[in-house]
Structure formats: structure tokens, C-alpha cells
Amino acid sequence: MAALPQGIIITEATAKPHSIVYVNPAFTRITGYTAEAAIGRGAGFLVAEDMHQPGLEAIRSALRAGAPAMAVVRSYHQDGHSFWNELHVMPVKVDGGRVTHTLSLLQDVSARVLEEQKLGSLATHDPLTGLANQILLNDRVRQAINHAERDQKLIAVLQIDLDRFKHINEALGHRAGDILLQAVAGRMTECVRDSDTVARVGGDEFVVLLTGIEQEDHLHSIGNKLREALAAPFHCNGQELRITSSIGASLYPRDAQDAETLLRLADLAMYQVKDGGRDDFRCFSRELAQRVTALSALETDLRGALSRQELRLYYQPKADLYSGAMTGVEALIRWQHPTRGLVAPGDFIPLAENSGMIVAIGQWVLHEACRQARAWQQEGFPVMRVAVNLSARQFRQPDLYEQVVHALTVNALDAAWLELELTESMVMSHAESAIALLRRFKQLGVKLSMDDFGTGYSSLGHLRQFPFDTLKIDRSFVQDIVTEPDDALIAQAIIAMAHSLRLNVIAEGVETAGQMQYLRAHLCDEIQGYLFSKPLPAAEATEFMRRAPLLDGAGRHPAVALRTLLLVDDEIEILNALRRQLRRGGYRILTAESGMAALELLALNKVQVILSDQRMPGMTGAELLSRVKLLYPDTVRMVLSGYTELSALTDAINQGAIYKFITKPWDDSDLCALIHEAFVMHDGLAQQGAHSQHGREEISV
């Protein structure tokens, strides 16, 4: 026993105080105490005053039960320093049961314990920042909940995510990223008390545990303090960096009773901040919880929506401000949910984006829109362009181009009648590849428009690089265009600059005549909005196209203020047919069912071109136009007549009352061309200051 490396102590067990009766030389080497100094004393002297160690408790209770025990306890060397003592204690029994002595083996294991502690720290701390890691954090949150229960205090968990950290890391390199993370950790630690815990739980994700909060609103002030601290510029490798952060928080006991839920809810609140555009602080709330549950239920339903054929396309007409006529439609998706009714895209497109379902949905939209556009063409409607919205994820599909070509081919739709609507952020984030893809679409003949313009960060200057045809001014500007001078100025500037880039400009969300007039006055090209029409299901859109309504006040466009055409015929069907045909020319069209009515209108309006039927009861076309010649010599006068009535017109023609005559039935495109020519003729006359006109050309029959 004397040669053993472990120290040995034998103590008396029958009578108190259980004094030491034997120690070996290793004992002296380990503890510094000689045999003389130890023998006769109770073994407890080795731990000095440090008697309430958990290991000692374990040994005592084992001995009371007559069982062996082992524990690592802090012991004290004769010179006063402490060491970790691995102690094995065994009762020594004689005569089959009675404990007479206790045999203890001791060993200095300080080196091993220190090593373990270091490893232990690794298991509980983040090596880069020295902050607590997820394991330690979970532990601390649990502990904090236990304590908080006792002292009726609140606990808060804040989940902090650095916005766009990935970009910084990629742009500046990982070394700089690491330095930034360390600096962030330092700032967070400075913002909170020593008793709080700051943990790093992911690349750029941190959690702060706040204990002993008195009132809920303290949480807000700490949350915002953290945000501000992180918003101040960082200096990293000689560069100044600015970052923003998204912070979500949850509160014990208000939001959750256990650590896992508390952490999860803070995370959820943080994601809400991210979804809402980042750089904010938000507390978890019941409403948020309900929204999240509702969303996940919706997502489950959405998975089957396509196969159950619950998706619909609505079509919103667009109109030309100049002619007042419809120019095309935008396809807008709706979800006919079996119980919720019609769900708007804003409520499920983001879900579809996040889950990847948008790819299949987007393909369906493309096909359905192309199919409908073709169907309208085949029904004989004037060709309308159909616009399809693309989502960001769809735009990143490597085979998007092929998908579009496929949709066009399958539906036999000419590419010129398809328009794709994209947003600024979609093309700006990967500008190079976006430009290449857009150019391919352009070559294909597809029209491209930039949707929601003005809401992003880009400037019109950037736009120059992209081959867009049309720019859509976002609804948010249009809304206050007649009341907010800033919005009005922005809209004006967008229109002017877009025109200088040769882009067509359309304003979305036009709801009032005032908005329309303002846009018209500032030379916007087209509008879309409830004023002209809401988005309509296909059947109603077809009906709308059949009615072919015109925008109010068309032709009052300043650039064309003088382009008024007066149509006169006693047969209303003919008037309607003419109007439909000529509407696309962009004229303001007035109609009269008799010569008298026509003269009335001429008194009220400045009319450049008049087209009158010849055979009308009361006053013939020739009579009317002869009067017009005297009253309004500048007005270009044309007559519409059956071939057989030609002779009745010769006088009028010879007297210069009639510039041209058009035979019934007319050829549509010839008619349009002739009317156009008449306006050109009028402009020429007006410039020459001529007060009369003569049939300078051959009469066309």
C-alpha cells in the first residue's frame, strides 16, 4: 500500500470523531500533510471550510447507507492552494456486516478537470465571439423561467438577425465578416446587464435573454436600444460598414410558459419583421400567432388548389388616355377557395413563393392567359395584349424562356400579344443575367413592362440598361396624385423621364376622374384602375370588350385637344359600327342622328372632321355639309353614301361642300385611313390659315 500512486486514508468508523488511523506516503505527496499531522484528526480537515460541496454530500449519504462512493471534491493542500481530489470511499466491514473502518483513496485530478472545463466551455460557448451558444442559452432560459416563477418577474427573449449579412460576407470576405460578428457581439453585450445572456445561435443570428424585467414596455426600449446600437457604423478593415437588424421578441409568462416555445415565438416575430421589409423590432402577439396558424393552413390548401382547378384568372382592362379605348388586359390571379371564397393574390402568392409552388402556378397562369388571349382573337375582338405578372422566383427559373415559348406555341399566340410584368427588385438583384434574359424575350417579340415603378430603390437611369417597353407607375403614387404635391411631382417626373427613354407609361390604380385628368394633363399614355374597370372574370371581361366603353373625356388630351370627329347618321347601328371602328384612332367622337342635331353639336364643340350619311330624313348629308361649309369652313367634310346616290352629291361636291365621299359598305381600314387623312388635311389647312377648302383630290369611290 505504501508504494501506491494514490493517497490512502484509513479512518476509524465505530466511534466519533472518525479520526484518521493511517495515511500512506502518496497522501503526504498529494496533500502536503505528513502522517504525524494527519493521524488522529477527522478526514474533513482536507476540505477546510468548504464543506457544502455536492460531492461531499454524496459521499456522506453513501457512507450512512454502508455503500462505497466516489466524487471529485475541492480539497486544500497544506500550503493553502486548492486542488481537485477524486475521492473513492469504501466502508470496511468485519464479521459479515459491521463497518469498523473507512478506506479512502485520493488522487489529484486538477489537470484533468481544467481540461474538461475548457472542453465544457467549448460545448457551451461560441468560439468566434465567446458568447453563449444555443445549448447554454436553452439552459439559461430554463433556469431563468424557474427563477422568474419564484420572484414574479418577467423574462424576455429577443431573436436578432442581421439584415443581408450574407451579402457583406460575400462582398468583403469571411475574415471581415468574422470581425463584424465579433463587433456586433460586443455591442450587444454592452447593451444589456451582466445578468442577461447574449448568445450566438447561427451565422448571423443572435439571441438575448433578459431577466428580471419589471414591465412589458421595458422590452421595447431594450429592443430599440439594441437596434440603434447595431445601426451605428462599424469600422472593419478600414471600411465603414452599416448594417440593420431585424429583431423579434417574446415574453414570459405572457406568450409562453416553457423555454422552447418562448424561443420559437421570438423567432416567429423576427420572421415577421423580415417579411415586413426588415430593420425593425416587433414583439410576438396573439394576432401574429393566429396569422401564422392561418397561413400554414392556407399553405396546405394551396398545395391542392391547382389540381382541384380552384385557380382563376381575372382580367383588368387597360385604356389609352388619348383615345379612351381599351388597349389590353392584365391577368390577375385569384383563388376560388372552397370555404374562404375568393382569395386575393397578396394572400397566397407570397406563400406560393416561399414554398416553391409558384413555379407550377406561374406556368399555369402563362398558359391560361395565352389561351384566353388567343380565344378572344378567334372570337373576332380587336387584338388585345395580355399581360402576365412574374414573381421573383419564377424569374430565376433557368428555363423561364422555354416556358414562355412553350405557352405561346401551344396556344398559337403571337409573341407580340404577350406582355410580361416584372418588378424593379427582380431585375436589379441580378442585373447581368436579367438583361440577357430580357433581351431574349425582346427578340422573341414579347413586350416587357416594369411593374410597381417607384416603390423600389432603382433610378430611371438604371432602367436604361433594360429593354423595357412600358413603365407602370405604382398605385401608391397615383392614389394621392391630386392631393399630395410630392406624389404629383414624382409622377410627373417619372412620366417625363420615361418618355425621354422612349418608354410607354401607364398608371395603375386610377380610381377617380380627377386622377385620370391629372395624368392626362401630364401626358401619361395609359391607365388601369377601377375607374375604367375592376379586374373581371373572363366571361365578364369578354362582355366588357363587347360593350367597348371609352374612357370619359378622351380626346381632351392636351396634345390632341382638337381632334374631334362628328359622325352623323339616322341609323344608330351604323353610328355604333362607325364609332367602334374609329375609336382606335384616338379621336374624340361625337354622334348625331340628324342634321339638326349635328348642327347643335357643332355649335357646342370644335369639330375638325365631320362624316355624315347622305340619305337622312329631314336634311340630307349634302344639305348639312353645305351649311357646315358656310358656318365652319375649317371643318373637313365627308359624306357616306350608297353608290346609287352619287348623282345627288355632284352639286355639293362641285361647290366644294364635300371633301370626300365614302361608299357604303365601307372597308374598315380604308375608312380609318381616310379619316386620318382628313385630320392631317385639317391640320395643314389650319397652318396655312386657309378659310376654305376644295376637293383637291380625286373623288374616291
**For binding to ligand C2E (CB under 6 A), which residues are involved?**
316, 332-333, 344-346, 349, 362, 365, 389-391, 421, 451-452, 475, 508-511, 529-530, 535
* Residues 491 and 477 sit within 8 Å (Cβ to Cβ): yes
* Comparison of 196 and 508: residue with beta carbon closer to ligand C2E: 508
Least distance from ligand C2E to the Cβ atom of residue 361, Å:
7
Least distance from Mg ion to the Cβ atom of residue 312, Å:
16
Q: What is the rounded distance in angstroms from the CA atom of residue 78 to the CA atom of residue 24?
A: 16
* Residues 33 and 20 sit within 8 Å (Cβ to Cβ): no
**Binding to Mg ion (CB under 5 A): which residues in 433-452?**
451-452
Least distance from ligand C2E to the Cβ atom of residue 191, Å:
39
Q: What is the rounded distance in angstroms from the CA atom of residue 568 to the CA atom of residue 550?
A: 19
Among the listed ranges 31-39, 169-177, 421-429, 481-489, the one in contact with Mg ion (CB under 5 A) is 421-429
Q: What is the rounded distance in angstroms from the CA atom of residue 567 to the CA atom of residue 612?
A: 6
- Give the nearest residue (CB) to Mg ion: 421
**Closest C-alpha among 314, 320, 321, 366 to residue 343:** 314
10 binds, among ligand C2E, Mg ion, none (CB under 5 to 8 A by kind): none
* Comparison of 154 and 434: residue with beta carbon closer to ligand C2E: 434
* Residues 589 and 567 sit within 8 Å (Cβ to Cβ): yes
Q: Is 123 left (phi over 0), alpha (psi -120 to 50) or beta?
A: alpha
Taking residues 448 to 477 in sequence order and writing x for each that binds Mg ion by CB under 5 A, - otherwise, the string is ---xx-------------------------
- Residue 666 per-residue DSSP state: P
585 binds, among Mg ion, ligand C2E, none (CB under 5 to 8 A by kind): none
633 binds, among Mg ion, ligand C2E, none (CB under 5 to 8 A by kind): none
Cell of 26: 502518496
- Cβ neighbours of residue 178 under 8 Å, at least 6 residues apart? 128
Report residue 280 CA to chain centroid gap: 15
Which amino acid, residue 517?
A: Q
* Comparison of 388 and 678: residue with beta carbon closer to ligand C2E: 388
Task: Reduce the secondary structure of 451-505 to three states and give it as a string.
Answer: EEECCCCCCHHHHCCCCCCEEEECHHHHHCCCCCHHHHHHHHHHHHHHHHCCCEE
* Residues 332 and 322 sit within 8 Å (Cβ to Cβ): no
* Comparison of 88 and 406: residue with beta carbon closer to ligand C2E: 406
* Comparison of 5 and 530: residue with beta carbon closer to ligand C2E: 530
* Comparison of 323 and 470: residue with beta carbon closer to Mg ion: 470
349 binds, among Mg ion, ligand C2E, none (CB under 5 to 8 A by kind): ligand C2E
Least distance from ligand C2E to the Cβ atom of residue 475, Å:
6
* Comparison of 452 and 645: residue with beta carbon closer to Mg ion: 452
* Comparison of 453 and 587: residue with beta carbon closer to Mg ion: 453
* Comparison of 129 and 327: residue with beta carbon closer to ligand C2E: 327
Among the listed ranges 55-63, 179-187, 414-422, 425-433, the one in contact with Mg ion (CB under 5 A) is 414-422
Least distance from Mg ion to the Cβ atom of residue 401, Å:
20
* Comparison of 104 and 316: residue with beta carbon closer to Mg ion: 316
**Closest C-alpha among 335, 343, 381, 323 to residue 588:** 323
Concatenated DSSP letters for 26-63?
A: HHHHHHS--HHHHTTSBGGGGGTT----HHHHHHHHHH
Least distance from ligand C2E to the Cβ atom of residue 355, Å:
14
Concatenated DSSP letters for 556-594?
A: --GGGTT-EEEEE-S-HHHHHHHHHHHHTTT-EEEEESS
Q: What is the rounded distance in angstroms from the CA atom of residue 46 to the CA atom of residue 74?
A: 9
Least distance from Mg ion to the Cβ atom of residue 345, Å:
10
- Cβ neighbours of residue 518 under 8 Å, at least 6 residues apart? 481, 482, 488, 491
Question: Which of 323, 389, 612, 614 touches Mg ion by CB under 5 A?
Answer: 389
* Comparison of 126 and 451: residue with beta carbon closer to Mg ion: 451
* Comparison of 334 and 660: residue with beta carbon closer to Mg ion: 334
* Comparison of 531 and 628: residue with beta carbon closer to ligand C2E: 531
Q: Tell me the longest C-alpha to C-alpha distance in the chain.
A: 153
Q: How many CB atoms lie within 10 A of CB 416?
A: 12
Cell of 39: 493521524
Cell of 577: 359600327
* Comparison of 133 and 533: residue with beta carbon closer to ligand C2E: 533
* Residues 7 and 23 sit within 8 Å (Cβ to Cβ): yes
Least distance from ligand C2E to the Cβ atom of residue 393, Å:
9
**Closest C-alpha among 5, 3, 85, 99 to residue 46:** 85
Least distance from ligand C2E to the Cβ atom of residue 332, Å:
4
Decide if residue 196 touches Mg ion (CB under 5 A).
Answer: no
Q: What is the rounded distance in angstroms from the CA atom of residue 509 to the CA atom of residue 316?
A: 11
Any idea which residue has 418618355 for its cell?
Answer: 499
Task: Reduce the secondary structure of 206-265 to three states and give it as a string.
Answer: EEEEEEEECCHHHHHHHHHHHHHHHHCCEEECCEEECCCEEEEEEEECCCCCCHHHHHHH
359 binds, among Mg ion, ligand C2E, none (CB under 5 to 8 A by kind): none
530 binds, among Mg ion, ligand C2E, none (CB under 5 to 8 A by kind): ligand C2E
Decide if residue 419 touches Mg ion (CB under 5 A).
Answer: no
* β-pair partners for 210: 156
**Closest C-alpha among 577, 658, 558 to residue 612:** 658
Least distance from ligand C2E to the Cβ atom of residue 588, Å:
24
Least distance from ligand C2E to the Cβ atom of residue 334, Å:
7
Least distance from ligand C2E to the Cβ atom of residue 298, Å:
15
Least distance from ligand C2E to the Cβ atom of residue 419, Å:
11
536 binds, among ligand C2E, Mg ion, none (CB under 5 to 8 A by kind): none
* Comparison of 255 and 330: residue with beta carbon closer to Mg ion: 330
Among the listed ranges 131-139, 378-386, 417-425, 530-538, the one in contact with Mg ion (CB under 5 A) is 417-425
Least distance from Mg ion to the Cβ atom of residue 451, Å:
4
* Interface size with Mg ion, residues (CB under 5 A): 5
Q: What is the rounded distance in angstroms from the CA atom of residue 246 to the CA atom of residue 450?
A: 29
Helix (H) or strand (E) holding 73: strand 69-76
Cell of 29: 505527496
Cis peptide before 633 (omega within 30 of 0): no
Report residue 639 CA to chain centroid gap: 58
Q: What is the rounded distance in angstroms from the CA atom of residue 57 to the CA atom of residue 44?
A: 12
Least distance from ligand C2E to the Cβ atom of residue 518, Å:
15
User: Which residues of the chain form contacts with Mg ion (CB under 5 A)?
Assistant: 389, 421, 451-452, 508
